[in-house]
Chain A
């Protein structure tokens, strides 16, 4: 029987590289560290929750009935234009790709977020993993010593095991509420290291006894959360953005999204496999244009800074960057001067690892009401991202116990125009 979560092949690189290097005495050398860094496969997933308007971002339609008030501006790639609300990202276009032919199935948040982030596969009676959990599964934890799937978000944090679906809790997300480490992470000052170790031994013993009478998945989540906390205890300095140069903080901005993207950069630099950054409040049913005039620049500046920084550090060869929402927004402008939910024809921006830079795939019609080329569902995008990261959806399968499952919708394929 195949193991549910991983196969020996999944660890082939790290084991061979590790022991090979150790045998040569090269484990601690900068060259070895650099070699490891080059082998990393990572993802930055920027989630603009509620739905950024494609017309006020990646697919502007100026001077059309639904085009809104904003202009389109040229980018660093001749012939490609984006909304004037994205001036900084426009300068990074030669490092990015836009898919303008996204057409998905759900126009409600409750269903849309789940379906989009799980890749909307065919229903096989199992809950598929979110993209972050899937990548934690396929790309592994890397060498950071940190959890493979970290979610930086406003408000509360915690261990979000539901993201993992049938993969099991250890592929869940560690959510850093407001970009901070989990509360009570550090050992209290009045508790000695020895006492702490003793307590943990006792806890582990209790966990073991508890687990003997229950399903492994139920107890695994609990143990894994403690293990993650122990990992994070050693790296609390990561969360202290005040030690970063002021210039960096200015470039990313002092608002939530800027601070969280800056933390994401640090986590990626440390080698975390999948970092999701969520910004809430993009559901602009009312006052859409003033809303986007306020919101989009707060995405544009830190996102462009991130792309520049990843490029400067040579990390775009390793890190796949994705910026998206659960859907776009209606071309029609409602009476509240808002735009409603629109899965029919919208856009996703991506770049970095495995992505052809400076291209646009697909297009919408003149008014932006339909995809005018081959429509691409989220399944197409999952194929694209797996391929970009060197995971072949035609060859790889999940195993839910003995049940083989495709890793992306088997009737869809990658958007080859954006693959490098």
Chain B
């Protein structure tokens, strides 16, 4: 079976509990910085020890024979043992790795043991072979990283480990998409439809800052989605103001992009720019059932309030749903929740069965 092509550096790991979760593989940049820092620490410790011994023995320049032996042993410890001991005792991290937020784990996500830590550090020797002369440090390791999916150097390959990036780059909604955009009002739509999260994600991708798309091209792409969404929502197309048509027509060339931004504003439910980890929790909405009842007549009520109460994302446009379920049941109807969730599951299964019988 062909491996799915990956465009980012995330690796999915399955836990014994049968859940997939993702690690971000550390790239060569961060690893280089960590490596350089570690080298500095090694050399620094050596120099510090030499000075310390000089201070203790009170000689300057020449070290007595015993100190010479100590220095050599420390040199040995630094060059062969430093990385291994750090990774064994600090849960797969050296000091350099801590500073970069990196960690060594097994490829199944479990922490590494002593022998793996020791072995992968011994294999720094072949990894740091110079292939193209003194300029290209760690050539073998870098080549091996380039050739493997998990960016493993030889030491990682042999001992089945990988270096992961623990820095949490939180995937947040880019706050600037929906700045200064009005949410879609209830009165503007005839239908009842909740834009699912995955659609929102697609829209966000379209507006990502690192995407080099001209405004015209973005409008073209947006059109496909926008037209569909307008239809689902029963969006009432605004008409030009007869007294001042210019304002309307000035907006038409970008109307799909603008519409998608309004979708984001309306349905993306987390606070803008709020990137703290428990943001989704804070925003747990407390809409009461009464709000839905009054929603139909209150024109000022924004869609997302209603949606919060009424819409499972599976519950689409009402009329469509009924015709669909009448002919053949969709798999969503047979879907059974995990048992522990069933007791507070009130909406969807009962509702759809009512819809079928009526």
The judgment on whether A and B are partners is no
